Amino acid sequence: MKELRIRVLVGVFVVAGVLSWAAARLWNAVGTLPSVPLAAPIVLALIAAVLLSTALSLRARLKAQRERRPGAKGVDPLMAARAVVFGQASALVAALVSGMYGGTGVLLLELLDIPARRDQAVYAAFSVLAGIAVIAAALFLERVCKLPEDDDQDHGGAEPAS
């Protein structure tokens, strides 16, 4: 399984932000810009909390297993792999959604004199922050579930001839 790359997440965030800003600008010129829902930062924060609690639980169980504590519950490798895949998918979606709300939020900064748009700008800012929290929690979960590297194994396949 490949690790998440920060460059990919930043790229998704930036591309989504630019496209969202352009679309929001066009939509606002043509008609009424749709609002940023209050639920957006709440849902992203809940996902971040689930990822963080999963990572902390797995870290505690793995530590107990490494220390061979009596009664320690082991970690099923398939369950850990599923948790990492959930974290990676959540991070990619959070980068996309955060970029989208970030781009919309930049446009809303121009409309701060309207009270309703000011609230929308705040919701967009909290959505971006919550999206960053999802990404951080996903990276932490991935780090917790990462297998230690085995330096004794051959990385090239065949041994060099003497």
> Would you say residue 154 has pLDDT above 80?
no
Return d(Cα 4, Cα 113) in angstroms, integer: 40
> Would you say residue 130 has pLDDT above 90?
yes
% of the chain exceeding 90 in pLDDT: 53
pLDDT score at 149: 63
For the residues 13-17, what does the mean pLDDT come to? Answer: 96
Return d(Cα 4, Cα 121) in angstroms, integer: 29
The model's pLDDT over 19-35, given as tens digits with 9 standing for 90+, comes to: 999 999 998 888 777 88
> Would you say residue 162 has pLDDT above 80?
no
List alpha helices for the chain, DSSP H.
Answer: 6-30, 39-66, 77-108, 115-145
pLDDT score at 62: 84
pLDDT score at 148: 67
Return d(Cα 103, Cα 28) in angstroms, integer: 13
Q: What does the mean pLDDT of the chain come to?
A: 86
pLDDT score at 150: 38
pTM of the model: 0.84
The model's pLDDT over 76-99, given as tens digits with 9 standing for 90+, comes to: 888 888 999 999 999 999 999 999
